[in-house]
Structure 1
Amino acid sequence: MKKVSFFILIICFATKIMAQPEPANYVVALNRFKELYNHNQPDSIYSMFSSEMKEALPADKFRTTTRQLKSQLGNLVQADFMKYEAPLAYYKAVFEKNTFLLNLSVNSQTKFTGLLLKPYEAPAAATNAAPASPTIPTDPSITESPVTLKTFSGSISGTLAMPKNAADKIPVVLIIAGSGPTDRDGNSPKLGLTSNMYKMIANELGKNGYASLRYDKRLVGQSVSSTKETELRFEDYVDDAVGLINMLNDDQRFSKIIILGHSEGSLVGMMAANDQPVKAFISVEGAGDSADKIMTEQMKSKSQLISDGFNRMLDSLRRGKITDNIDPALYPYARPSIQKYLMSWFRYNPTREIRKIKIPILIVQGTTDLQVTVADAEKLKKAKSDAILAIIPGMNHVLKEAPADKDKNTATYNEPDLPLKPEFVKAMISFLHKVK
């Protein structure tokens, strides 16, 4: 095969270089580019160019180059975000026949101001690892070691945290992450999240004599899978959690297993705990309604155009149909490649699932959570009357002290050293001490 040369003049202004999360408009632009490229629509891609780009590259030349690229490389399977150094975002672009480094820049109108494709060179180490996020030290009283669970489609990678002074069998807590590409520590470059909340939970558990296992979700961080985004289903996350439960149950170092599920992980944990060797369940910031209702409510804060587009897509999903032609602004929430996953997720109602659990339950909810409300926790409590409900004043979705003000609240999502809300830690440890 001839060496592929596909580049478009990078037209961007110098700015201070600093690694940052992937901006939302870059997500939209990239997903739109992928859709149009895979559907052989170079003219539609060209329409996304800024005026400077169009001056630098004639439409006919771009059309010819793009079609040549498609014939040589095939479809763009996925593009994994690596880093953002304004104004450039870097992606590992996996085509059907080869892998390249894709650099792009867009302006405030989500128009391309730069697009460059060149040979990809894997990092010297940890090629499957997510971009590094600021982390916190492991507590001196704890020893951490890597854990790998082999699955039918790949492997799940995690971290086992053990108290150093453990003299006998001890309880272990399986920490299940929330929605999106969130890693074992509670960080996600794609979401602009550097909270370290799960690492902090592991530290607090270890200091109190409990082991913990936290892990990268399927297709996240160092967890690898042959499953493609279009093939992912909600039940896959449940299967992964069950596999880890069985692995912990076979480990003679542990006396009992407790599940702690955060956000979407709460529903995963409910379903994984059913009919498994689990002694207790902790739901942290878990929704009380099915995900379609939660997302519909969240879309009300978006523009009318986005909200209406989501509702049309949702109506189609309820009829079992995928919506291929969707507004680019909706790609982060409902792009065609994840709609079957959404369909699988939407069919489960947390209030129904929590009723099936026959073990002690703690429901924890912060009052300043912008994503899940106290009303959600109350619905879970109503569905399971013998559960313990702990409402934590001033705690937000990432389990930190935060005001109700949206901007100040979300600012804590990127304060990796901000500690967990002490009242949350107290409620968690107090509950665990009572688990038999």
Structure 2
Amino acid sequence: MISTILLSLAASTLDPIEVTIPGPEGDLAGTLVQPDEDGPAMILIPGSGPTDRNGDNPMGVKGKMYRQLADGLAAQGISTLLIDKRGMFGSADAVPNANAVTFGDYVTDVRGWMGLLEERGAECVWLAGHSEGSTVALLAAQDATGICGLVLISGAGSAILDIMRGQLARQLPPAMLESIDTAFAELKAGRTFDPEILPGPLHAMFGEDLQRFMISGYTLDPVGLLSNVDLPVIIVQGEEDLQVAVSEAEKLHAAAPESTLVLLDRVNHALKPVEPGEMAANVASYGDEGLAIDPRVAEMIAGYINAER
């Protein structure tokens, strides 16, 4: 087993800057980790669900993986803007219902954050997305100016519902999958359904507002979106990721052959170091606050960004 690694990824001596921009009904909030006003600047778009700007999630993800990544990048001269999604955490006042959103709403917010960094002197901004945030970054890059490049971390090459179906198939008994397939067929047809058709534990995951969000994302083809982008792209994927397979990163890379694909052995979806094949330990690492992310994640991203300056 890999022993617990103390947080040594450039535990930043910088004072983070709390920033806001206007949202639909109230402010959106973020934290800017800025080592150098003249250096590269990046926005880190969170993954799915109630994931906060630091990368934590009340459903069991702890350790501030995004803040750790920002500190690791800061040690190499790169600023990172960490953001709370509209309706959540520091951005709770932006909309009354955090679930009544679309991918397009998140793109609007990302472009607003780009404006803040441009006002602070950034000539262009790197868009980084983790997991679901990778697809948001790809969508935000369509026909947009002022973007230096893309950093796609644990991002899918397939549509959101196909990824979710695969994840559920690995976790649920076969008897439950028939109702899942019925539900997903409705979503793919652009229709919501009564969550009562699903097993009880899944009701909260498929509330009506969340279904509309899923519908907004199903039509998005990450591979097609990436093929439309003419920007520097680095794709970073952990080989021990239980949620997004290496094949998804390979799909993205095939759509943009000039991109850089980085496969990190012994790294999982939470960017933490784990031993191959040890699923229980892999899952447990998500909630291990004392286990730092693998330092290679920051090293690879920083090396790529600095090489593109």
| Corresponding residue to 2:188 among 318, 321, 330 | 318
1:343 pairs with 2:223 = no
SS at match of 2:304: helix
Greater relative CO (CA pairs within 8 A, separation 6+): 2
Asked if the contact 1:170/1:256 (under 8 Å) is kept, the reply is no
Q: Please tell me the residue identity of whatever aligns with 2:124.
A: K
Structure-2-length-normalised TM-score: 0.91
Instruction: Kindly indicate whether residue 66 of structure 2 is the aligned counterpart of residue 195 of structure 1.
Output: no
**Contact 2:9–2:295 (CA<8 Å) still a contact in 1?**
no
Task: Could you tell me which runs of 5 or more consecutive residues in structure 2 were left unpaired when the two chains were aligned.
Answer: 1-6
Report the CA distance shift for 1:392/1:319 in structure 2 as closer, same or farther (over 3 A): same
Contact 1:306 1:330 in 2 (8 A): no
Scaled by the length of structure 1, the TM-score of the pair is: 0.65
Query: Is contact 2:43–2:128 with CA below 8 Å preserved after alignment?
Result: yes
Unaligned runs of 5+ in 1: 1-134
Q: 1:349 to 1:183 in 2, by over 3 A?
A: same
SS of residue matched to 1:149: strand
1:286 maps to 2:158: no
Contact 2:72/2:299 (CA < 8 Å) preserved in 1?
no
- Call closer, same or farther: CA 1:411–1:145 in 2, change over 3 Å: same
User: Secondary structure in 2 aligned to 1:411?
Assistant: helix
Please tell me the residue identity of whatever aligns with 1:348: L
Is the 8 Å Cα contact of residues 238 and 272 (structure 1) preserved in structure 2? Answer: yes
Superposition CA RMSD, Å: 1.9
Question: Which protein is richer in strand relative to its size?
Answer: 1
CA deviation map 1:307-353 (0-9, x unaligned): 22221111112222211233322224322331111100111011011
The secondary structure found in structure 1 opposite 2:124 is: strand
Deviations 1:113-132 (A, max 9, x none): xxxxxxxxxxxxxxxxxxxx
Q: Distance in 2 between matches of 1:282 and 1:359?
A: 11
Residues 345-397 of structure 1, C-alpha deviations (whole Å, 9 max, x = no match): 11101101111211100001111000011101100000111000001011000
Question: Identity of counterpart residues, as a percentage?
Answer: 28
1:269 aligns with 2:137: yes
Q: Which residue, out of 426, 433, 436, partners 2:299?
A: 426
Is 2:87 the counterpart of 1:219? yes
User: How many residues were matched structurally?
Assistant: 297
Aligned to 1:308: 178
Moved over 4 A (4+): 135-138
Q: Which amino acid in 2 is paired with 1:383? A: A
Q: CA deviation at 1:425?
A: 2.2
When residues 230 and 369 of structure 1 are mapped into structure 2, their CA distance, relative to the original with a 3 A threshold, is: closer
Cα–Cα, structure 1 residues 390 and 137, in superposed 2: closer, same or farther, change >3 Å? closer
> 2:77 aligned with 1:209, yes or no?
yes
Q: Judge conservation of contact 2:123–2:146 (CA < 8 Å) in 1.
A: no
When residues 423 and 136 of structure 1 are mapped into structure 2, their CA distance, relative to the original with a 3 A threshold, is: closer
Q: Say if 1:136 and 1:416, in contact at 8 Å, map to a contact too.
A: no
Does the 8 Å CA contact 2:43/2:82 hold for their aligned counterparts? yes
